Amino acid sequence: MECENPIGIAIFAVVLFALGAMFVGGFSNNSPQYLISSQDQIPQISVQGSAQMTTEPDQVKLYLYITTLEQTAKFSQEENAKINEKVQASLLGEEIDKENIKTTSYSVQIREEWEKDNNGTYSYVFKGYETTHRIEVTIKDLDNAGIVTDKVVEDGALVEYVQFSLSDAKRKTLEQTLISDAVSNARALASKIAQAGGATLGKLQSASYGTPSYYYPTRYDYSLSAKEYDSAVPETSFSSGEITFSVSVSTSFAIE
């Protein structure tokens, strides 16, 4: 059977060839002029490197809260504010900057407790309005942490816990050092793998960096209230211990 329009088929073939050339060569002068095949990709080794160190903390965070329970919400808030005023004055008196004293939460809630009456029936019983003010205090003078803790407790605050940590400045300095060490660790591991396989390690091709991890071994729970405070008790003292700081990197190196 003969083709009824051979010229049309020829033109259609030319158009298809042109479109194929555009797809391979790109649609603009800025596009790649070739396609990379799997045979052209650079052989690589992917490894994970890590580094860690232990260091002394240079600050301590004091997590405290003030709680008051009264029959009206207004009275509960007023009493809470009075205690907070005393606590703030004590903190400033210990030369703690205002920027290092931060409110983390504040709430006023109805307090009810599940109780049994004389007939043996359980029901919720209204106890009052509970105001809770939580504060985070950063103390730069580690030797003064125990004194500050005792003072805020004497003022009427409660301390949930005390946590030694790293300041932003020290953390960033250590992080830069550990990143360099982690990449060196990854390169050394990749080099061993390449040598074992009879290859030579090339340049770093890619790298990704995860969030650093910290291990804080020292955490003190502290829950004395002002009513339980006894001035005859020796001053509180803390031992900071050490903080373990580690980083990891995922890398890929070329091999030849």
In tens, the pLDDT along 99-147 reads 999 999 999 999 999 998 888 889 999 999 999 999 999 999 999 999 9
Residue from 95, 30, 87 nearest 64 by CA: 87
**Contact yes or no for 194/122 (Cβ under 8 A):** no
**Which residues contact residue 155 at a Cβ distance below 8 angstroms, ignoring those fewer than 6 apart?**
83, 86, 87, 90, 226
For residue 159, tell me if it sits in a domain.
yes
Instruction: Note whether 137 and 162 are within 8 A (CB).
Output: no
Band (pLDDT 50/70/90 cuts) for residue 98 is: very high
170 part of a folded domain? no
For residue 121, what are the domain limits? 59-165+221-228
Whole-prediction pTM: 0.68
Count up the domains in the chain and report the number. 1
How distant, in Å, are the alpha carbons of 92, 145, 171 from that of 152? 11, 11, 28
Query: Is 174 within the bounds of a domain?
Result: no
Does residue 30 lie in a domain region? no
Confidence (pLDDT) at 42: 86
- Identity of the highest mean pLDDT range in 34-43, 91-100, 232-241: 91-100
Q: Per the domain annotation, does 129 fall within a domain?
A: yes
Domain contains 73: yes
Check residues 79 and 115 and name the one with the higher pLDDT: 79
Residue 127 within a domain: yes
Residue 149 is part of a domain; what is its CATH number?
3.30.70.2970
